[in-house]
């Protein structure tokens, strides 16, 4: 079964709504080599209703909202390749082609796609809540894939030539599920479905005011952004 990509496809399956909506910087390719497709199928096999929005138009919120809101969460990935690597060469020249875009044209994946898509979702959910006067909290945004996984802590960014903070802050997302995540995404979905706190799920990152007992505390972003030796030490600890 292909994951539905439009409201018409959702209706043909007899679904009144989706539990999870995945948003990807790749075209939807139903293959075991494509992370978003794998995660979608894992969740479908676990009994969840999953749709996917591939390479949404970022000029407005109509495209990101074409499947409505998910009941449990949004899953966001920049795609199979870090979007900055997909869009630029090592000499910072714009790439002309993208293997994961129809026609091989590099016209659909925004720079720092994880951040762009998450902020687009926030705009959409804020709009529908305002227009419908909804008081319920919007579903959480969960980042995943190689871009979010590698940027889950303070990190050196080649294109900015600077240390950037965790993508969680710039994306204003709720969580990151890093790595392969087939098991952790099922556990996270079950926590959301059952009304349980998901913060004990292994492989989950989230913003907290205090560190958890037994966890290693890395130096702060402010420290590592200003001191090269501190950044190197943090990378070794990480």
The C-alpha atoms of residue 18 and residue 40 are separated, in whole angstroms, by 12
Is residue 193 within 8 A of residue 187, CB to CB? The reply is no
pLDDT recorded at residue 206: 97
Is residue 27 within 8 A of residue 80, CB to CB? The reply is no
Render pLDDT for 163-218 as a digit per residue (tens, 0 to 9): 999 999 999 999 999 999 999 999 999 999 999 999 999 999 999 988 889 999 99
Render pLDDT for 54-74 as a digit per residue (tens, 0 to 9): 999 999 999 999 999 999 999
Whole-model pTM: value is 0.95
Render pLDDT for 21-37 as a digit per residue (tens, 0 to 9): 999 999 999 999 999 99
The CATH number of domain 7-207 is 2.60.40: no
Q: How many helices (H) and strands (E) does the chain have?
A: 9, 8
**What are the start-end ranges of the H helices in 105-227?**
113-132, 145-150, 167-171, 182-194, 221-226
pLDDT recorded at residue 136: 78
Cα–Cα nearest to 123, from 36, 58, 54, 207: 58
Lookup: tokens for 148: 């979010």
Half-sphere exposure for 54 (CA within 13 Å, toward CB): 19
Averaged pLDDT score across all residues of the chain: 95
User: What contacts 165, CB < 8 A, 6 or more positions away?
Assistant: 154, 221, 225
The C-alpha atoms of residue 4 and residue 6 are separated, in whole angstroms, by 6
pLDDT band at 221 (very low <50, low <70, confident <90, very high): very high
pLDDT exceeding 70 applies to what percent of the chain?
100
Looking only at the bridges linking them, the beta strands covering 162-164 and 204-205 are unpaired
Is residue 59 within 8 A of residue 108, CB to CB? The reply is no
The C-alpha atoms of residue 103 and residue 230 are separated, in whole angstroms, by 45
For residue 129, pLDDT over 90 is answered with no
pLDDT recorded at residue 8: 97
Task: State the average pLDDT over residues 5-15.
Answer: 97
Name residue, tokens 């020249």.
93
pLDDT band at 85 (very low <50, low <70, confident <90, very high): very high
Is residue 233 within 8 A of residue 223, CB to CB? The reply is no
Lookup: tokens for 194: 């059952």
For residue 134, pLDDT over 80 is answered with no
Spell out the domain ranges in the chain. 7-207, 209-238
SS3 content of the chain, % helix, strand, coil (to 5): 35, 15, 50
The more confidently predicted of residues 109 and 212 is 109
Half-sphere exposure for 81 (CA within 13 Å, toward CB): 17
């Amino acid at each position: 079964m292909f994951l539905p990509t439009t409201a018409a496809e959702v209706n043909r399956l007899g679904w009144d709504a989706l539990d999870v909506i995945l948003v990807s910087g790749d075209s939807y390719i139903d293959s075991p080599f494509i992370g978003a497709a794998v995660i979608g199928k894992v969740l479908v096999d676990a009994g969840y209703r999953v749709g996917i929005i591939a390479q949404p138009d970022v000029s407005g919120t109509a495209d990101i909202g074409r499947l409505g809101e998910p009941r449990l969460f949004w899953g966001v990935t920049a795609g199979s390749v870090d979007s900055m690597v997909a869009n630029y060469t090592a000499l910072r020249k714009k790439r002309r082609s993208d293997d994961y875009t129809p026609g091989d044209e590099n016209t659909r994946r925004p720079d720092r796609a994880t951040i762009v898509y998450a902020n687009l979702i926030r705009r959409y959910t804020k709009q529908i809540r305002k227009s419908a006067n909804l008081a319920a909290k919007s579903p959480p945004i969960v980042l995943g894939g190689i871009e979010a996984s590698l940027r889950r802590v303070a990190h050196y960014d080649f294109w900015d030539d600077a240390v950037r903070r965790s993508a969680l802050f710039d994306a204003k997302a709720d969580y990151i599920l890093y790595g392969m995540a087939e098991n952790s995404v099922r556990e996270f979905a079950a926590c959301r479905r059952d009304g349980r706190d998901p913060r004990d799920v292994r492989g989950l990152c989230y913003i907290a005011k205090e560190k958890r007992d037994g966890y290693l505390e890395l130096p702060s972003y402010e420290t590592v952004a200003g001191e090269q030796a501190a950044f190197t030490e943090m990378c070794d600890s990480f």
